[in-house]
Amino acid sequence: MNDPVRVQVAPPGKAADKIEQCVHHVLARDKTNLLKDCLIERRDDLSLVFARTKHGAEKLMKHLVDCGFKADSIHGNKSPRPT
């Protein structure tokens, strides 16, 4: 491209005031243990965890439930729950 122009609707902003974000640089094999430590540290808070794949989301959710956490996954292959 010659003379590209960047167009955006709104400038990138920070997260909402009630949202806390942080970054931890860890090896892949240590991610689950770090997540569990963070969830234990803030047990009364709500957390949203993103996974790369549907399979990974299901596997992590099942592991967290087995460890005593209340967890669920959301993705396109979920069957509807009866109401």
**pLDDT (0 to 100) of residue 29:** 96
Mean model confidence pLDDT for the chain? 87
Stated pTM of the model: 0.70
Give counts: helices (H), strands (E), the chain: 2, 0
For 4-63, the pLDDT digits (tens) are 988 877 667 777 778 878 889 999 999 999 999 999 999 898 999 999 999 999 999 999
CB atoms within 10 A of CB 36: 15
To which residue do tokens 């549907």 refer?
54
